[in-house]
Chain A
Amino acid sequence: MPKELLGHKVFSLLEVCKSIEKTISNRYGTAFWVKAEINKLNHYPHSGHAYPELVEKRESTVLAEMRSVIWSSKFDEIDQQFKKVLGEGLKDGIEVLLLARVDYNAKYGLSLHILDIDPSFTLGELQKEKEESIRKLKEEGLFDANKSLDFPLLPQHIAIISVETSKGYSDFLKVIDQNSFGYKFFHMLFPALLQGEKAGPSIIKQLERIRSVLKHFDVVCIIRGGGGDVGLSTFNDYQLSKAVASFPLPVLSGIGHSTNETVTEMVSFTSAITPTELADYLLQRFHNYSVPVEDARKLLLSKVPHILAEENFRFEDKLGRFQHQIKNRLQNENGLLRNLMSDFRYYVSQSLASDKASLKEAPFKITSSVKDRLNRNRETLLELHSGIDKNGRSLLSSKSEGLDHLEKLIKMADPKNTMKLGYSIIRNKKGELIHSTKQLNIGEEIENIFVDGSLISKVESKKHDKKD
């Protein structure tokens, strides 16, 4: 009750608080649903209670803020429900639809007493956030950027983003370091948080570190160890997904057992459900390189001797045929030669034999033929002799008449007779007879021979008849 003090009506603080408490409980007697963002969850594992800091923001400006409380028994129930529906528990930065009562306590002030949180609303909000990340990345042309990179022929140098003590990391190393094929990997850990709010910025920071030593690496592996299905929504974060999508090396993610693929996994070059599967993927790439090399070796071992054997066979075959042909040819030639020789021998011996026979007969033949010849000649001579005797005289008389006639003719042909008619003979100095003007030159001396003597004269001029 108020007291009179110095002329005022005065309430004690407790009375005021009680009054407010009474008013509020009258006004807000029943619980109601509130939409808010959990800015900070403020869960204290020791007591199990949580004191979420609730806000309402427009853009990034806080319009309203209020403390709240979830008692430990409720907290566990709600958290389980969240894990079941969303795959992760309550955390900072999620939009929630909560059932609460306005609570006023004289000592602790005004807060919302949270009785329940509907996980399906948050799921929808997270899904919206995820879809928003995808939409933005697609809009910026980054969604397929990492997938479009050329994968190295041999992904041997691996930058690993993981938690050093996690099961996933050790599973991954076990496979790649202890493979039975003798494949050697180089890997280096870039430690990051992979769970909770800070996972995104932490991974982004390590990606930046890797970027500064990029040339040492072929691929980046993001490996989340063992955490089950919880805490995956951080991998839908736009900033993280963008950092992965736009990274200049292929990013391989082995994030978790999710049936609901996160945006980070979507934009990764490839993603595996488990770290072991991711390690197997790398080994497979090594196989893809190694198998053709081994096949090449086997091919060389099997095919080359085969080629050589084949070539050898071909050569031997050719050689054999060649030898065969040469042998045949030689045999043929030899046969021909032998035939020729025997023919020759035969003909020679035949010829000799016949010559010998003719030689034997020759003397007889010669004797008889000479005798015949002599006899015939003798007869001819005798005939001639009698012929001459018989015809001699008449022949002589007729010949004598002819001779007289001839003598007349000869006399008539004597140049002297001709010269008497006025002709003369011309000779040059050499004594050659001149019968053409062509034989003489101007100034040359000539001898004119007459019946009774000769003249020496000189050619003064020449005149040709055109006929000559």
Chain B
Amino acid sequence: MTKKINYEEAFDELQQIVQDIEEGDVTVDDLAAKVKRAEELIKVCRQKLSNTEEDVNNILRELESKNSSEQ
């Protein structure tokens, strides 16, 4: 299973940005960059919720090849 961006990391990073902004730890200089990053992370997280790239046939093939190698 290949993950282009690790969604757990994306989630954690997003939470951190939110916390920083909520606590007023972000300077106006950084704000634009942080907001841009947050938007990317939100996109990653949302995509993850509504997409899977897994294919049953691949897994079945894998199972079959494992069975035949065992025999």
Interface pair A299/B21, CB less than 8 Å apart: yes
Interface pair B7/A303, CB less than 8 Å apart: no
Q: State the CA gap A215–B3 with chains docked (Å).
A: 12
- Assess A186 versus B54: contact at CB under 8 Å? Given A293-B14, A307-B28: yes
Produce 1/0 per residue, B56-67, CB < 8 A to A.
101100110010
Do most interface residues of chain B lie in helix, strand or loop, or is the interface mixed? helix
Interface pair A295/B49, CB less than 8 Å apart: no
Interface pair B38/A296, CB less than 8 Å apart: yes
Interface pair A293/B21, CB less than 8 Å apart: no
Interface pair A300/B11, CB less than 8 Å apart: no
Of B35, B42, B63, which is within 8 A of A293 by CB? B42
Asked whether A83 is an interface residue with its Cβ less than 8 Å from the other chain, the reply is no
How extensive is the interface on chain A, given as a class? 20 to 34
Residues of A within 8 A of B38 (CB): 296, 300
Asked whether A396 is an interface residue with its Cβ less than 8 Å from the other chain, the reply is no
Residues of A within 8 A of B41 (CB): 296
Q: State the CA gap A270–B46 with chains docked (Å).
A: 26
Q: State the CA gap A293–B50 with chains docked (Å).
A: 13
Interface pair A183/B50, CB less than 8 Å apart: yes
Residues of B within 8 A of A7 (CB): none
Asked whether A31 is an interface residue with its Cβ less than 8 Å from the other chain, the reply is no
The distance from the CB of A308 to the nearest CB of chain B, in whole angstroms, is 7
Q: State the CA gap A308–B52 with chains docked (Å).
A: 37
Interface pair A296/B1, CB less than 8 Å apart: no
Produce 1/0 per residue, A297-327, CB < 8 A to B.
1011001100110010000000000000000
Of A183, A209, A213, A304, which is within 8 A of B49 by CB? A183
Interface pair B7/A153, CB less than 8 Å apart: yes
Q: State the CA gap A156–B11 with chains docked (Å).
A: 15
The distance from the CB of B48 to the nearest CB of chain A, in whole angstroms, is 6
Residues of A within 8 A of B5 (CB): none
Asked whether A12 is an interface residue with its Cβ less than 8 Å from the other chain, the reply is no
- Assess A216 versus B1: contact at CB under 8 Å? Given A186-B52, A296-B15: yes
Chain A-chain B contacts (Cβ-Cβ < 8 Å), number: 86
Query: Which of A157, A183, A307 has most chain B Cβ within 10 Å?
Result: A307
Q: State the CA gap A153–B59 with chains docked (Å).
A: 22
Produce 1/0 per residue, A98-113, CB < 8 A to B.
0000000000000000
Residues of A within 8 A of B62 (CB): 212-213, 216
Interface pair B54/A304, CB less than 8 Å apart: no
Residues of A within 8 A of B15 (CB): 292, 296
Interface pair A153/B35, CB less than 8 Å apart: no
The distance from the CB of B62 to the nearest CB of chain A, in whole angstroms, is 5
Interface pair A286/B8, CB less than 8 Å apart: no
Residues of A within 8 A of B54 (CB): 157, 186, 216
The distance from the CB of B55 to the nearest CB of chain A, in whole angstroms, is 9
Interface pair A307/B21, CB less than 8 Å apart: yes
- Assess A307 versus B31: contact at CB under 8 Å? Given A183-B49, A289-B45: yes
Interface pair A286/B49, CB less than 8 Å apart: yes
Residues of A within 8 A of B68 (CB): none
Produce 1/0 per residue, A176-188, CB < 8 A to B.
0000011111101
Produce 1/0 per residue, A262-303, CB < 8 A to B.
000000000000000000000000100110110111011001
Nearest to B27 among chain A residues (CB) is: A311
Nearest to B62 among chain A residues (CB) is: A213
Of A156, A184, A213, A304, which is within 8 A of B31 by CB? A304
21 residue pairs A–B, Cβ–Cβ below 8 Å: A153-B7, A153-B8, A154-B49, A157-B52, A184-B52, A186-B54, A213-B63, A213-B66, A216-B54, A289-B11, A289-B45, A289-B49, A290-B46, A293-B11, A296-B38, A296-B42, A299-B18, A300-B21, A300-B35, A303-B22, A307-B26
Given contacts A289-B11, A292-B11, 5 further A-B contacts (CB under 8 A): A183-B49, A213-B62, A293-B14, A295-B18, A296-B18
The 6 A-B residue pairs whose C-beta atoms are closest, nearest first, are A186-B52, A186-B54, A293-B45, A296-B18, A153-B8, A212-B66
